Structure formats: structure tokens, C-alpha cells
């Protein structure tokens, strides 16, 4: 039995759909959800639902009983997830899980000096705990999702252009769906025990290229402006964006600028058995017809 957590989220659900498409029977897949009402589609497909919150240790132990491979999808509560994921790993161990797989985070600077240490710190703590747990493990060090670019660009990107202090530096953004499919392949495959995979695209691209592709796709010039961080904060504050969001976006932009997501690694391509979705393909899918 495999169990996927975060199954009502984008990544977890995509992993389950890939497992089903690849021929795994729904009865052999369990999904951890915290709100059953959000999992009607999974239930309809015959996937076993187990209810639990990362904050509820006893519920996690009960949910993980009988599970051979557990895919722990990192939590979305950046402030509290270190303790939540600690609960999940301890619960997996207590429940007798043989092999734990975890969606970690790929950044080239894993020290406190990174502008996104606030994101990577909890991932690194969970990685360490998993490696020391005695269970077999597989760590997916996921690069930036291509899917976060539309959020960085904003809903009015076609009118306003791209405004982000990320400079001209490239990053190996990869699609969330490709990452989920790679995880499904690992769950179904053999020989992935105690492996760490760098889940990144095999192309590195900059936001200059993103603006060029967007211009071609929508048929009008889309500019990319990379302001100073100060100007970015001022402009976004005047636009009424809450300060915590501005800080979040600015932290990621600065990390991109510092080259934290550049890599020549080809693990994702190997796990997929084909080239990952490119930036141009992804943007075409999202923005054609806009």
C-alpha cells in the first residue's frame, strides 16, 4: 500500500492521478486528507481516504498503519510545518512504514544567509530527521515550480508586464505536474531507497526569456522590469499588497537573482524518461487565448 499526503492539494492529487494512469489500482492507493469533503473526486475513483492533520499525531499513526511507502508532501504552513512534519515522520516510524519519500526543496544556498532560509530551514530539518529515522528514504529536492510564475507575474501581466526584482539570472523551473509524475514513477519503481533526487528542469531560463515568450504568445510586447528591492516594496505597498506577501515574493526574487535555482542536473529528465516541460510550453498552455 502506498499513501500520499497532501492529497487534496495540487501536487499530491497529481501524483495519485499519475499512479492511476500508469495502472496502479485505486484500492492500492491511500490518500491522507484533512477534510474529507474536499476529496469527493478521490473517493469516487476508489482511492482509500484516511483523515488526519499533521498537527494530530495520533490520527497520523492510525492513518499510516499498514502503509509500505509513504509520500510525505511538505506542508503549506511555512511557519509551523517543521513541527508538523516532525509529527508525520515520527508517526510513520511508529506505524511501521518501510520507506518514506519527501518533497523537499532545491536551493543552492542552504545556509542562514539565503534570502529564502525561511522556506528551506524546515525542509532541511525534515530531511535530517528522515535520514536519521532508520526508514528507507527518498528525498525529492524540488526546484521552483513553473506554476508559481503566474502568481509572481500577477493577474494583469498582459497589461502591466512582469515586475519582479529577480534580475537576469536563470533558474531551472520545472512543472509541478512533471515533478508529480516523477514521484509516481519512483513510487512504482525499484532501487530508489536512500536516494536524493534533484527535481529540476534541464533548461535554465530567465524572466527576460519569459517576457519574450509571453510577448509571442499573447501577440503584444510584454516588458520585464527588475526594480531594486526598495522600489519593489514601495510600488507593491502603494498597490495595496500586504507586506508579508511582498516580503515573500521579494525573498524568492532575490534568491533567483543570486542563482539559487540554477542547475545542470538531469534527475527529473531521467525519472520521467523524456525532456521536462519547457518554460515556453508551460507559458503557451497557460496564456494562449488570454
Ligand X SMILES: NC(=O)c1ccc[n+]([C@@H]2O[C@H](COP(=O)([O-])OP(=O)(O)OC[C@H]3O[C@@H](n4cnc5c(N)ncnc54)[C@H](OP(=O)(O)O)[C@@H]3O)[C@@H](O)[C@H]2O)c1
Interaction site with ligand X (CB under 6 A): 6, 8-12, 34-35, 38, 53-55, 73-77, 84, 103, 105, 142, 144-145, 148, 176
Q: Which C-beta is closer to ligand X: that of 238 or that of 253?
A: 253
How far apart are CB 220 and ligand X at their closest, in Å?
A: 28
CB of 119 to ligand X, least distance (A): 8
- DSSP 8-class letter at 278: P
Residue (69 or 123) nearer to ligand X, CB: 123
Give 145 or 282: the residue with its C-beta nearer to ligand X.
Answer: 145
Cβ distance to ligand X smaller for residue 163 or 173: 173
- CB-based contacts of 156, cutoff 8 Å, min separation 6: none
Please, which residue, 55 or 209, has the CB nearer to ligand X? 55
Which CB, 53 or 86, lies closer to ligand X?
53
Which CB atom, from 159 or from 244, has the smaller least distance to ligand X? 244
Contact call for residues 154 and 207 (beta carbons, < 8 A) = no
From the CB of 22, what's the least distance to ligand X, in Å? 19
| 117-131 vs 81-95: helix crossing angle, rounded to 10 | 20
What are residue 7's phi and psi, to 5 degrees? -75, -15
Question: What minimum distance in Å lies between the beta carbon of 51 and ligand X?
Answer: 10
- Which residue do the cell numbers 527576460 mark? 208
- For the bound state, the minimum distance from the C-beta of residue 175 to ligand X, rounded and expressed in Å, comes to 10
Nearest alpha carbon to residue 102 among 76, 72, 129: 72
CB of 103 to ligand X, least distance (A): 5
Q: Which residues of 69-92 are buried (b: 16+ CB within 10 A; e: fewer)?
A: bbbbbbbeeeeebbebbbbbbebb
Could you tell me the smallest distance in angstroms from the CB atom of residue 32 to ligand X? 7
Which residue number is nearest to ligand X in terms of Cβ?
9
H helices within the chain, ranges in order?
Answer: 10-21, 40-45, 57-64, 81-95, 117-131, 149-153, 157-160, 176-188, 207-218, 229-238, 243-257, 267-272, 279-287
**Can you tell me whether residue 163 is helix, strand or coil?**
strand
Amino acid at each position: 500500500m502506498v499513501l500520499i499526503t497532501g492529497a487534496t492539494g495540487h501536487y499530491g492529487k497529481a501524483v495519485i492521478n499519475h499512479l492511476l494512469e500508469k495502472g496502479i489500482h485505486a484500492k492500492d492507493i491511500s490518500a491522507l486528507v484533512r477534510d474529507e469533503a474536499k476529496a469527493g473526486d478521490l473517493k469516487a475513483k476508489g482511492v482509500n481516504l484516511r483523515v488526519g492533520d499533521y498537527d494530530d499525531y495520533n490520527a497520523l499513526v492510525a492513518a499510516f498503519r499498514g502503509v509500505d511507502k509513504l509520500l510525505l508532501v511538505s506542508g503549506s504552513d511555512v511557519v509551523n510545518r517543521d513541527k508538523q512534519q516532525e509529527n508525520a515522520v515520527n508517526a510513520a516510524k511508529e506505524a511501521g512504514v518501510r520507506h518514506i519519500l519527501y518533497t523537499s526543496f532545491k536551493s543552492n544556498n542552504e545556509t542562514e544567509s539565503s534570502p529564502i532560509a525561511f522556506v528551506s530551514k524546515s525542509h532541511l530539518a525534515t530531511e535530517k530527521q528522515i535520514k536519521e529515522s532508520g526508514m528507507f528514504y527518498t528525498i525529492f529536492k524540488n526546484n521552483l515550480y513553473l506554476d508559481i510564475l503566474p502568481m509572481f507575474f500577477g493577474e494583469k501581466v498582459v497589461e502591466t508586464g512582469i515586475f519582479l526584482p529577480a534580475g537576469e539570472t536563470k533558474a531551472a523551473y520545472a512543472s509541478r505536474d512533471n515533478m508529480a509524475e516523477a514521484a509516481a514513477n519512483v513510487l512504482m519503481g525499484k532501487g530508489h531507497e536512500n536516494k536524493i533526487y534533484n527535481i529540476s528542469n534541464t533548461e535554465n531560463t530567465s524572466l527576460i526569456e519569459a517576457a519574450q515568450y509571453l510577448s509571442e504568445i499573447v501577440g503584444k510586447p510584454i516588458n520585464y522590469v527588475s526594480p531594486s528591492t526598495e522600489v519593489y516594496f514601495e510600488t507593491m505597498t502603494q498597490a495595496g499588497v500586504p507586506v508579508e506577501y511582498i516580503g515573500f515574493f521579494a525573498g524568492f526574487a532575490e534568491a533567483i537573482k543570486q542563482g539559487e535555482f540554477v542547475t545542470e542536473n538531469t534527475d527529473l529528465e531521467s525519472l520521467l524518461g523524456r525532456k521536462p516541460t519547457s518554460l515556453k510550453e508551460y507559458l503557451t498552455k497557460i496564456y494562449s487565448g488570454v
